[in-house]
Amino acid sequence: MILSAASISVVLSLLSTILGLIIIFIAVSTPAWQVAYVREMQQWLQTGLWMSCQTRPSGMHVCSYASIDETNIPITDDMINIRAPTFYAWQTTLLYIFLIAQLSAMLALLSYLFSRSVNLRKAVHVIFSGLVALAALISIGCCVAFMILSHMVEYRFHHVSVSGIYEKRQGYSFYLGLTGSLLYLLALFLSIPSTLSVIRDQSGSGSPSETSQYPAPGSLIAVTERIPCTAIDQLLCLSGTASTYHISNIDVASKQVLPPHNCCCCCSVRRSLFHIYTILHPTAKNHSSFSLIDWMESQAKIEKCWLVVWILSIVANVFLIIGTLTPAWQVAEDTDVGRYVQSGLWLYCPGAAQCWYIFSDNLINYYERVDVCRFLLIGDCRKKLLRTPYFFGWHYAVLILNIIAICFITCAIIVAALRYKKLEKRRLFTILFGVFICMAVLILGVSLTVFVVNAEMLESKYLIGVKNTFEKYYGYSFYLACTALLLLVFSAFGAILLVALTFFNHDSQTDAANIRLSPATQYYPEQRSKSPLKTPSMHGEYISPNSPNGQFQQTTRHFYSY
């Protein structure tokens, strides 16, 4: 038994969902989300979402759990070796959100049990894809939130004594959770082709709403294939105005096809074409009478999706360009001198003074490099941090990643525009558009993650003033880039949908050439009688034959002429 492509995608989607469910349950149940080795006590510390464990080299292993914020409970000398590190409220919140994602995944698996029902098949596939998408988004969001929160100064270090400060790192539990989230995302991508197949089959098997409005006999009705339109024509048709069609005039009374010509046909005519089709071909209702209407309606929906995705990509690109060029990625209010400081990826604006930029972090004319005491704000280190560089290496990394993302988005926009110019390469342009948009989402997501992680570090989070230290906050430039990422995510989902339709509908490019109304004479062949059309009234009368076009030829010959 050979499985179809849709069946294989369903099986792989179910397997990915089950594996992701198991792996995330293991990740949530284990404590190694943050790990640190404390040399003073010679023990490993593992902190999870609800459980914390201590392991000594001798083999002693002690775990404890809590579901509340215990930061206010004092630690005594007697408890320091047996008490687990404190739990924070955000850890419990992430635990609950992870459980919601797991519940969505389990409901998705349970809903698929009803897929054998013909009446519920379409709803089951849509619900399955929706629940898997919800589980994937929640899980990935939790992993990103954990990475950001765990890199903050107050949660990143474990304090044992005044001199004993140890950095925590991500453990295997975090990577298990990330793997399970990616499996959910893979299951979502694999479920899209089967869902589209079921929706298409269900839509194709249904019958359009009937109407009593039929054309009058003898009227000329414009029906035949749609020729390629320009981008402006496509937009006009999508907006409900008009689109160009290649039509043939069909006389309903005589069922004859007149010479074709080009005209502009309103988009609302598409629904009435079915009734004209069935009038001319009443026996086609049981076969493929919906091919023309379904193809035209599906093309209109695809064009609308293209238009939305294209607009989202353009808006996201504009937001990202503005965010990259402006300096308000980190802002702070320096009350010592009364100025509003903005620090960007390549531009630094100290209040009302002139903005300046620099692309090197070792120019001694502006500041000196400090390799020690950078994480402490006491003693002599405070004076050295006054001349800490405004731009670090990660600023340049984020800037370069943003520029690469802008290039990918621009290429995607150009490819989408070329799709209307070169119609014979629509499938190739659709695939390229999806690749460019997905790469832009990936690169921009990595860029913003790198920025947030480094911006929360002590050396970048605070502005050293003349007398005091001021905390930096995220400015409008950062939020513009985040908005661009959000728009690109929706655009990527639309691009994946379009690519799936391109791969799944193998005959999408030939539909326009194959879907047409054949001449009426093909369905209504000329009924040629093998017997004489009229009985001879006298002996020896000559019966004239039928002409090839179905009309009688006038002859002057008769039997007596021989």
Q: Do both 392 and 503 map to the same domain?
A: yes
In a domain? residue 333: yes
Mean pLDDT, the chain, whole residue set: 71
Q: Do both 263 and 341 map to the same domain?
A: no
Strands 157-159, 243-247: pairing kind: unpaired
SS3 371: coil
Q: Check pLDDT > 90 for residue 256.
A: no
Overall average pLDDT of the 413-435 stretch: 86
**What is the pLDDT at residue 229?**
42
Task: State the pLDDT confidence band at 233, using cuts at 50, 70 and 90.
Answer: very low
Distance CA(389)–CA(129), nearest Å, equals 49
Q: What one-character DSSP code corresponds to residue 286?
A: G
Q: Do both 154 and 31 map to the same domain?
A: yes
Number of helices (H) and strands (E), helices first, in the chain? Answer: 15, 18
Overall average pLDDT of the 34-41 stretch: 83
Ranges 139-153, 161-175, 219-233: which has the least confidence: 219-233
Strands 348-350, 339-343: pairing kind: antiparallel
In a domain? residue 530: no
Task: State the residue range of the domain holding 253.
Answer: 220-289
CB count in 10 Å sphere of residue 52: 23
Q: Check pLDDT > 80 for residue 524.
A: no
**What is the pLDDT at residue 292?**
54
Name the amino acid, one letter, at 508: S
What is the torsional sign of CA 535, 541, 547, 551?
Answer: negative
Q: Do both 309 and 285 map to the same domain?
A: no
**What is the pLDDT at residue 153?**
76
Q: Which residue has the higher pLDDT, 87 or 176?
A: 176
Residue with tokens 């990740």: 27
In a domain? residue 241: yes
Ranges 4-8, 164-168, 218-222: which has the least confidence: 218-222
In a domain? residue 553: no
Distance CA(55)–CA(46), nearest Å, equals 8
Count of domains observed in the chain: 3
In a domain? residue 68: yes
**pLDDT tens digits, 162-193:** 566 788 889 999 999 999 999 999 999 999 88
Contact (CB, 8 A) for 140 and 181: yes
Q: Of 289, 324, 343, which marks where a domain is finished? A: 289
In a domain? residue 394: yes
Q: Do both 28 and 175 map to the same domain?
A: yes
CATH assignment at residue 104: 1.20.140.150
**pLDDT tens digits, 463-503:** 877 778 888 889 999 999 999 999 999 999 888 888 887 76
Q: Do both 253 and 332 map to the same domain?
A: no
In a domain? residue 531: no
In a domain? residue 533: no
Q: Of 204, 229, 258, which marks where a domain is finished? A: 204
Q: Do both 240 and 361 map to the same domain?
A: no
Q: Do both 258 and 135 map to the same domain?
A: no
CA 156 from chain center: how many Å? 33
Contact (CB, 8 A) for 259 and 250: no
pTM above 0.75, yes or no: no
Q: Which residue has the higher pLDDT, 513 or 40?
A: 40
Ranges 117-121, 233-237, 335-339, 342-346: which has the least confidence: 233-237
Q: Do both 173 and 52 map to the same domain?
A: yes
Q: Check pLDDT > 80 for residue 374.
A: no
Tokens of 38: 């404390």
Q: Do both 56 and 179 map to the same domain?
A: yes
Q: Check pLDDT > 80 for residue 307.
A: yes
Q: Check pLDDT > 70 for residue 521.
A: no
Q: Do both 331 and 431 map to the same domain?
A: yes
**What is the pLDDT at residue 551?**
53
Contact (CB, 8 A) for 440 and 312: no
Q: Of 482, 512, 542, which marks where a domain is finished? A: 512
What are the backbone angles phi and psi of residue 479, rounded to the nearest 5°? -70, -30
Percentage of the chain beyond pLDDT 90 is: 26
Distance CA(544)–CA(422), nearest Å, equals 55
Q: Do both 147 and 195 map to the same domain?
A: yes
